[in-house]
Structure 1
């Protein structure tokens, strides 16, 4: 599986961020053709018990890098990208990668 990861820093207004993220952004993102699943993790702290500089981690799964690249050309992906930049452009970092199987 190939995935895009979005890592969000702590927003100033968590309630406003959550309302937009879950009420608007996730529904837009779920419409992207080829997207297999979304996993969202709310960061609750560090292993040392301190607050993390990060708030949220979102993993979006695709069958392959090629499927991801095709998905990113769609109007649905462009709508999702435009939306995330409108409310979290200064908070989000994107990465892509492949899951690795190991023994």
Structure 2
């Protein structure tokens, strides 16, 4: 069963600077996390229920819970977390989920 880490990012004040850092710095760090099978980044365009403050939704796919747990303990993941706190602190919610 696929395990995912899901990151929900609220809309930043400077979208261009945020995206530049996300694409040029953060994404390359994420791609180094061991066991990562797939990275999906979704740009939120709106909501059928009205306004939303969500900007990006990132999904990191891992083969199973054991692979996810190992990835979360890795040095590469720690580097991602450190970078995340540098550019998105207070702007990101992190969840993990099992795909059914």
Q: Extract structure 1 runs of 4+ deviating beyond 3 A.
A: none
SS for the counterpart of 1:45 is coil
SS for the counterpart of 1:32 is coil
Is 2:89 the counterpart of 1:89? yes
After TM superposition, the score normalised by the length of structure 1 is: 0.93
- Compute the RMSD of aligned alpha carbons: 0.9
State the 1:51 CA deviation. Answer: 3.4
State the 1:89 CA deviation. Answer: 1.1
Aligned counterpart, 1:65: 65
When the two structures are aligned, how many residues end up with a matched partner?
Answer: 99
Aligned counterpart, 2:76: 76
Structure 2: runs of 5 or more not aligned: none
User: Which structure has the bigger radius of gyration?
Assistant: 1
After TM superposition, the score normalised by the length of structure 2 is: 0.95
SS for the counterpart of 2:36 is coil
